[in-house]
Structure 1
Amino acid sequence: MRGTVWAAANQLGVVAGTPAELQSALLSGAPRILRLGQPGQDPDAVGELARILREFGHVRVVVEEAVDSGPPAREPVDLADPAAVCAAEPLGITAAYERDGGAYGGLRAAWLRAGQALIRDQEPAERALALLAALPASAGPHLRAALTELAAGARWSVVWTRGPDDTEPPPPGPVAALTVSAGRLLVAGRDGAVRHLDAEPHTAPLPGRVRAMAATGDGTLLLLDERGRLHTRGPGSRLTAAVTATLAAHPGTALAATGDIVLVGDRVGSVHAFGPAGLHQAAPHSGRVTALSATGTLVCSGGADGAVCLWTPGNAPLPDPLTERACPVVALHAAPTARGPAVAVAWEDGLVELHHPGPGEVRAFRPGPAIRAVAVLQEGQLALATDEMLVALRPA
């Protein structure tokens, strides 16, 4: 069933691993058409998923008769052999791992964690990279080494990972937000507990779940909760107090900070920059602002409209977006490089891109699960967080 659900989710541009998660992901959008029954999909799973979604009533399901024009059935794949697994037909591997509960040195757990990305058409090296990023900490060194060798042709390499089964350093838990302060990665859990990567939490939990995090130039931590209210940890200032009061009356949807400027997005597509020079505003998006980041004087905003826009407070936003897709932006982070700002963007369908300055300098990655937060680290590395893992990648 998982492979059928993942294929349906990829077709619809959402992230889901179960029929219930697929229904939940579809609730926020308009009714759509879903075509099931492509070659390689299990007919029983197709029929069951079609029945569930038809009862749900928010999607029109069309079951097509698959035409078997592929090669004859192959011998069973060795599920402990990473090279064979990465080169095999992915829906078949998914079904085999669902039937067989063996650990296979951690390969099965990694496949079932990253599976929605793995069933897409791609080279074996890209599958090996996604599996390497999803490996549990208990995976054997031989498996990690084998996947690293197989992933040598991918556009990324894995620098480090953290997951729920890590014991040392402490696991980050479900991550709600990432940012970089004084050159170090800060990780915020859903409850508002904030830590450096390899340290214990050093802030108290919030009364509500965290939506976004930012750090000001004086070291004050800013946390936006799910109701759009601002909470501060650290020295604070009259400016942060004023922004806190403003958001108590007019909740925000996104948050960022740069130097002594605090930026807030709202549900109608506007970005507000609060600073010593007063308030500057722009309206670059159609619909909710879903993510913000800033570096120097450059502000990056992402929206439910799928666009990433650039703005310098006091001026009009640039007329053309940095990038745009037919899918809401869920996370953003910008950081300076020697050639100009680099921008990491994550979308609701599980894709993350790192945009380097210069034409054609874009690298993409899909971890499989939904992405909750991103950050650009030193030397152009990319950190991304899902509900189960935190991964750092280096451009190859």
Structure 2
Amino acid sequence: MTRKQATIAVHSGLNDDEQYGCVVPPIYLSSTYNFLDFKQPRMHDYSRRSNPTRDAVQRVLAELEGGAGAILTNTGMSAIHLVTMVFLKPGDLLVAPHDCYGGSYRLFESMNKRGAWRVKFVDQGNYVELEAALAEHPKLVLLESPSNPLLRVVDIAVICNAARNAGAVSVVDNTFLSPVLQNPLALGADLVIHSCTKYLNGHSDVVAGAVIAKDPDLVKELMWWANNIGVTGAAFDSYLLLRGLRTLAPRMATAQYNALAIVEYLQQQPLVKKLYHPSLPENVGHEYVARQQRGFGAMLSFELNGDEMLLRSFLKALQFFTLAESLGGVESLISHTATMTHAGMSEEARAAAGISETLLRISVGIEDHKDLIADLDNAFRTASRD
């Protein structure tokens, strides 16, 4: 995050209250607003369409990502669904990563089976495979970089340019890095999506999503459809998200520092078969990190060198890492990919993406890194004894 972005985040929505001068903007919980007169609506008429608190957080999200506008939705998945329904019609093709988030994979595969549109899952780091998919003239190309859960990095600028030449709209899921560490619109993407549930809110108490667009006309179309199908975010969630954004930069800095310390520890751990993190030279796409990211992020994954019994023992021994889905909160979380975040993918699809049955994903929080490493060390020692 640039210094200006950090200042924008801290001052998000502050001092906007002209009535009482509240430093922190109030929550506008009203569902409806009176008309000035017959055929004379105010700026807001119904909160599904627009709400003052939601407007405030949408302005901040657009500024942080360098977009013309943002649409706050009620979940991260509804943000993805909104984009697909706006840009895809029956027969249209979506090109998506073969190793994308399990919820995205489930949505795309189920809509494909219903005939809503078509999807092709490809290894976007394999340019031969990607070019073959783009030759089919897709309407939408989705990127995840780094990917969930294998932290693979792809060249956003190159892929977005190739998508544009193929006549497709490009959308980048920037949930793992947030605007602190990456701005896909500046790299050529048409749209950016976020699960605001994660780093943007940062406190595991809001479920929300966002779509940010570079083109003002796309913002208007997405906003119209969000109101039309009723996926806009709630006022109280908007207020909590504004609160979370104010600490985004320091939270990310601490979590990333902790993650690097844990990666260094895990590299020496014999019960770790394979480690995934963008800082590692052997990580897929490591060569693109310096070009498009301002850091490595606080997500990491590793394959445990053992069977299910060892895995169960390891997880049970953890005290500071909570076994739970989601990510990006102040607390450290660990999840078993195959049975949790990516359970919606078939076993064959997970195998094709390289997601093993012993893969564990960690969202590193802001606790003291020495405590986190000690917790992992104790769990490894306990699992090796059992």
In the superposition, the TM-score normalised over structure 1's length comes to 0.25
More helix by share: 2
TM-score, length-normalised on structure 2? 0.25
Which structure features the higher share of strand residues?
1
